[in-house]
Chains A and B, each alone.
Chain A
C-alpha cells in the first residue's frame, strides 16, 4: 500500500461510502463510544488544556531539534547493539527490509500494527519476494483476512466493520463456526495466530516513540501481540517515522498519557513495550538481531514546509473521531492512508498537491478537531492554508471553479452589480436544478426568496423615523 488507498474519484468514493449504511452505523457508534471514554479519561486527569500545551511544547521542541535527537537516538541505539538504518524513500525503506530478510532466509514474518509500514508498502514488497506476512493485531488481521481491506482509522483499523460482518468474514475465510460475540471471535483468532508467532523468522513492528537519550524503541498495544512479535522471532525489524521521537523517558511519560487517553480513553494500555537493544546475554527472550529502519518518505519536505506543525502528530486518531465528515464516510472516503483532519493537513505535502488536492475539500471548516488534538496542531488553519495554495495554483484547480468564484467575487465586490444580482435571486426557484442547485436540493429544499430585501426595508424604516 502507499498513502493512496483508492483509485476512485472523490465523488465516487463519497457515493460508495455514503451508500454503506452498515459502515456508517459502525463508525458513528465507534465515534460516540470512544469520544465518551476519552472525555471521561481527560476529565479524570484534569487540566486538559495545560496537558495539551505541554504535550504540544514537547513535540514542537523535538521538531525544532530533530537532527540532534535523531542523531542522539541513532548513537544510543547502536551502542545498545541495534542496527540503525536511515532511509529517504518508501523504496529505500522496503529495500532495506528486503535485504535483511533475504540475508536471513526468512520465510514468514509476523507484524504488529504499524501505519508507517503500510505507508511504504512493506507487505506488498515482502509478499512479492515470496515471504508470508501475517498481521497479528486483531483489527489488521480482520482486514488482511478480508482480502486486504484498507484500514479506515489509524488506531482502530476495522472501525468500519460490525461484529456480524467480522463473524461472516472468519466463517467464510477461516472456517469459524461460532457466534459474533467479540470474545469468541478473538479466542478463535488467537488460536490461529499463536502458531504463526512460533513459526515466524522475523517480527516487524512500528514504533510509537523512540527515546533519544536511551536509544529505546517503544510500543503501545492492547492485545499482547506486540509483545509476542518482539520476543518470539529471532530477528526484529522496527519501522519508525523519523519524527516519532522524544528526548527522554520524562517526556515519554507525558506523551503516553496523552496518547492513550486520546486514542482509547484509558489511562494505560495493557502493554507498553520498551525495547532497548537486542537480547542480552542474561535475557531470556527477545530478538538476537534488532534493526531499526528510520523512514523519511516526505517528512523532511513537510518539516521544511509551512506545515511543520502537522509532524507533531502522535497518531492518536482523535481528530477523526471528532470529525463530522469522517463520521459518514470513514477513512475509506478519503482514499488516503491517513484520513480525517490529520490526513487533510498531512497528505497534500507528504504525497504532493498534484495527487492529493481533492482531499482538502472533505471539511466543512467546523474546527472541532482543533479543540481535541492532544498536541494542539492547528488543523483548521493548515487545511485552510492548503486550500489557498491549491486555489492559487492554476494547475491544481479545475474549471469551472475558478471561473465561478471569479464571477462571484466580482458580483459581491461591487454593490451595484450585487444589488442587481440579489434582486434577481428571487427567480432562483425557476432555475433548472443543475450544478450547485442540484447538490443542494437533493437533500434540502431551497429557501423561499420573496424578493423582500432588508436594505429596502431599512430605507423605509429610516424614512418613517424608525417606526416600522
Chain B
C-alpha cells in the first residue's frame, strides 16, 4: 500500500543539513511512500514561540499550515521531534481564531515524527541498513519527553546490522541546545554541551545518532571544536547507511 506523505523538511534540514531531508525522502520512498514537498514551507516558528513572541510567530505558523495542508496528503512527516511538537501545539496559538484553529487542528492531527511514522504507521522496524561500529543515541527532550517517542527510534536503530548502541552517563539529559537558549545564554548552554560531549567521549564510540537536527548541530559543534573522531548522524542517515549504492 502506498502512502501519500507531505514532507516537512524543517528549516534546519532544508538549509544547514540537507542530507537529513534527502535521506528522509529516500527512506520514505524505499518504504513505499509517495512523497511530496511543498516549497512554500519555511520554519515552524519555534525560535520565536519559545522566546515568548507568540504574536510574531503566528504569521509563520499560518504559512506552514497552509503549505502543509495544500498537498492534501493523508500524512505529514518531519525529521524532528521538536518541530513536530511545535506544530502539534499550533491549535493553542489560535485559541481565539476558529478558522485557523480548525486548520491547525487538522495539521496537528496528521503530522508525524519520522521514526514514529515508520514504526507506528508503516509497521516497519527493520529497514535493512548496515552500519558497523559503536554509537550513542541521544533521545532529544522534546521527542522523548514531550512527544513520548522513546522506543520507536531505538527499535529502528536496534535492527541496523553491525551497529552496537552504547549507554552513557546522563543519557536522557538535555544537550543544552534549547533553540534560542543556546545563543541567549551561550556560556550556560556551552557548559551543558561540554558535559554531554564528555559523556559521549567516555563511551568510546564511532557515532552519535539523534533524531533532531538542532540538538545534533549543538553536539556536533562541540565535537568538531574538540576535533573528536565521532561522526554525527541523524537517525535517517543511519537508517540509510550501507544501502546507498546507486542512489547518489
A residues apposed to B, CB below 8 Å? 14-15, 18, 24, 324-325, 327-329, 333, 361-368, 370-371, 380, 384, 386-392, 397, 401-402, 405-406, 408-415, 418, 422, 425, 435-440, 442-447, 449-450, 452-455, 457-459, 461, 466-468
Contact = CB atoms under 8 A, between A and B. Distances in A.
Contact of B187 (A15, A363, A365, A458): A15
A461 B26 CA distance: 10
Interface in B1-36: 9, 11, 13-18, 20-22, 25, 29
Given A363-B178, A452-B18, A409 B183 contact: no
A415 B181 contact: no
A324 B177 CA distance: 11
A401 B52 CA distance: 11
Given A409-B60, A413-B59, A402 B53 contact: yes
B53 A364 contact: no
Given A415-B41, A443-B194, A18 B178 contact: no
B39 interface: yes
A389 B59 CA distance: 19
A21 to B, nearest CB: 11
A442 B186 contact: yes
11 contacts: A324-B192, A366-B141, A366-B178, A384-B52, A425-B16, A444-B218, A444-B225, A452-B18, A454-B22, A461-B22, A466-B29
B186 A440 contact: yes
Contact of B51 (A327, A367, A401, A446): A401
A389 B52 contact: yes
Interface in B21-74: 21-22, 25, 29, 37, 39-43, 45, 47-48, 50-57, 59-60, 62-63, 67
A410 B176 CA distance: 27
Nearest to A421: B15
A418 B15 CA distance: 10
A258 to B, nearest CB: 21
B183 A439 contact: yes
Contact of B221 (A15, A413, A447, A455): A447
Contacts of B47: 405, 408
A458 B186 contact: no
A405 to B, nearest CB: 5
Given A363-B181, A367-B145, A447-B217, A329 B186 contact: no
Contacts of B59: 409-410, 413
B174 interface: yes
A415 B39 contact: yes
Given A363-B181, A444-B222, 12 more contacts: A364-B182, A365-B50, A387-B51, A392-B53, A402-B53, A408-B48, A409-B45, A437-B183, A443-B186, A447-B221, A461-B22, A466-B29
B13 A443 contact: no
B220 A387 contact: no
Most chain A CB neighbours (cut-off 10 Å) among B40, B185, B194: B185
Interface in B148-196: 172-174, 176-179, 181-195
A442 B176 contact: no
B14 A367 contact: no
Contacts of B124: none
Given A391-B52, A447-B217, A364 B145 contact: no
A137 B88 CA distance: 47
Given A406-B56, A413-B63, A364 B25 contact: no
A444 B188 contact: no
B56 A455 contact: no
B181 A454 contact: no
B224 interface: yes
A454 B14 contact: yes
Interface string B89-122: 0000000000000000000000000000000000
Given A387-B51, A446-B221, A361 B185 contact: yes
B14 A392 contact: no
B56 A405 contact: yes
B224 A455 contact: no
B225 A445 contact: yes
A15 B63 CA distance: 40
A28 B243 CA distance: 43
Contacts of A363: 178, 181
